[in-house]
Amino acid sequence: MSFFGSLGKKIGGAVHSLGQKARNVVKKGVKAAVKNAGKIADVAGSVKKVADTVSKVAGVVGSGAATLAAGAAMVGLEPVAAGLAGVAAAGKGVQGLATGVSSVAGKVETGARAADTTAKTIKAGMDAKKHGESAIDSMRKGNIMDAISEGKEAVKDVKTAKGGAESLRKQIQRTK
């Protein structure tokens, strides 16, 4: 094997190893995000509410300062009017920033809720499969009562998964 051939194999092996490590990190990150999607959605919802409130308060402060600046200018207090105009501009800037934060938090909340619904739907589907297999095994062993109870559990899990899938479909349609 030539020098460049062995060098290429070593580089390829190192790149493959890094790719595998990156894949594992992403897998763990996605798993943690899905596992905590409900909490993420709750926090994003709280951030959205706070940002909405800040936006409203900043808008009121900006409008009030602008009105006071106009009044100060009318009576000849230009330095005061200039300061109040600065406060009004800052209030409007904060209002714009808070509105942007609220918008982003709303999108994060929507995505996290969809991820949470997806995780719950997949879990219900997996549980239905497990109960169905258990029911079949119980029937093969002749335990009819166990098979019936496992079958009922499987049906319940299928209904849960179906409800989750319908909810997810509606969330996707709302997003579109």
Whole-number percent of the chain with pLDDT over 90:
0
Helical (H) or strand (E) element with 171: helix 144-175
More confident residue, 30 or 69: 69
Query: What tokens appear for 151 in the block?
Result: 């079958």
Looking at residue 34, its pLDDT comes to: 64
Residue whose pair of structure tokens reads 């005061």 in the numeric block: 80
Query: What tokens appear for 89 in the block?
Result: 């501009």
- Asked if 134 contacts 150 with a C-beta cutoff of 8 angstroms, the reply is yes
- Asked if 135 contacts 143 with a C-beta cutoff of 8 angstroms, the reply is no
Task: Report which of 130, 135, 116, 128 is spatially closest to residue 161, judged by C-alpha positions.
Answer: 128
| Distance, CA of 30 to CA of 82 (rounded, Å) | 51
pLDDT in tens, 60-79: 777 777 777 777 776 677 77
DSSP H helical segments within 75-143, as ranges? Answer: 78-141
pTM of full prediction above 0.75: no
pLDDT in tens, 147-175: 888 888 888 888 888 887 887 777 777 76
Biggest CA-to-CA distance, the chain:
98
Q: Does residue 102 surpass a pLDDT of 60?
A: yes
In the chain, the amino acid numbered 159 is K
Cα distances (angstroms) measured from residue 10 to each of 14, 15, 17, 94: 6, 9, 11, 54
Q: Does residue 122 surpass a pLDDT of 70?
A: yes
| Number of helices (H), then strands (E), in the chain | 4, 0
Question: Per-residue b/e over 101-126, b at no fewer than 16 CB within 10 Å?
Answer: bbeebbebbbbbbbbbbbbbbeebbe
Looking at residue 54, its pLDDT comes to: 75
DSSP 8-state assignment for residue 2: -
Q: Does residue 113 surpass a pLDDT of 70?
A: yes
